[in-house]
Structure 1
């Protein structure tokens, strides 16, 4: 799986992890947070999913990477939201499998969901947030879910 850094371009998973470790080691006194979120955009023939991975240096900026997936058009909102959530959780599992959290277990992580109290997605809040918290992660919804609703959304267009 390849990720994209806005300035460095395509990065392998290994390169991305090395970039993140270097970023964290630049300021070891800072506090960090890992945020993962996925958004999607359905066009006539396809749905594009974008998963964003943000490493936030609390109060001092952030770096981010993203990856894209293309699917046949998905018109069902519930299925699309479930797929977004699955991609975010898969990204976490991939990072774990590649030893991402071995270098710093103390970095908290959030999964940002592109759902909120407004609109059709409000009906999905309980079940999707329940899914994320059941597997052990903190879930954030709009307006706090900037990884999905701002960063990932930007690259679905």
Structure 2
């Protein structure tokens, strides 16, 4: 029996996408404006329910100030995960898993879309949004250093609350 039940990727327009479909959509989105300022963002949030825990990982590509394309993947863990560190760590593991699908070859393909326009202001960055905060009243503040180091170690720019909107807003919306 599988430990986790991962659904295919989906968004409001498409269901049952595999990662190849997602990558194709991102490349198509970027090709529509090769002069764009792109941020490719991955982030995960979770919600504990009565008998299970739902994790949503969002993939969002933003053309700053213009357009957005997004999709998400739902993973069901068939138990109530009550320990905060375990849940935050698993959220980050799901984010890391998706980031790892953007291999060096795939990142190179995306960069090549904007490369001819780099001197005209086109940009591409990749971020990992972590649903934690460093505020004094935030229960997750003790995990910030550990989780930020994990994201940095895979070559992705980390963002925490309040800047981690893919995890804390987009993914959160679908965990309910």
Band of TM-score, shorter chain: over 0.9
Where does the alignment leave 5 or more consecutive residues of structure 1 unmatched? none
Aligned to 1:120: 139
Partner residue of 1:94 out of 88, 101, 107: 101
**Cα deviation code 1:9-29 (max 9, x no counterpart):** 221211111111111011111
Higher share of residues assigned strand? 1
Query: Normalized against structure 2, the TM-score is what?
Result: 0.83
Q: Give the aligned length.
A: 156
Question: Radius of gyration: which is bigger?
Answer: 2
User: Equivalent residues in 2 for 1:27-106 (5 A)?
Assistant: 27-71=33-77, 72-96=79-103, 99-105=105-111
Query: By how many angstroms is 1:156 displaced?
Result: 0.4
1:149 matches 2:168 = yes
**Cα deviation code 1:43-72 (max 9, x no counterpart):** 111000000000010111211010010112
User: Equivalent residues in 2 for 1:123-134 (5 A)?
Assistant: 123-134=142-153
CA distance in 2, matches of 1:61, 1:94: 23
CA distance in 2, matches of 1:3, 1:56: 18
Off by >6 Å, runs of 4+ in structure 1: none
Query: What RMSD over aligned residues (CA atoms) do the two structures have, in Å?
Result: 1.5
Aligned to 2:32: 26
CA distance in 2, matches of 1:102, 1:136: 14
Query: By how many angstroms is 1:77 displaced?
Result: 0.2
Query: Normalized against structure 1, the TM-score is what?
Result: 0.93
Provide closer, same or farther for how the CA distance between residues 13 and 134 of structure 1 changes in structure 2, counting only shifts above 3 A: closer
Where does the alignment leave 5 or more consecutive residues of structure 2 unmatched? 1-6, 112-122
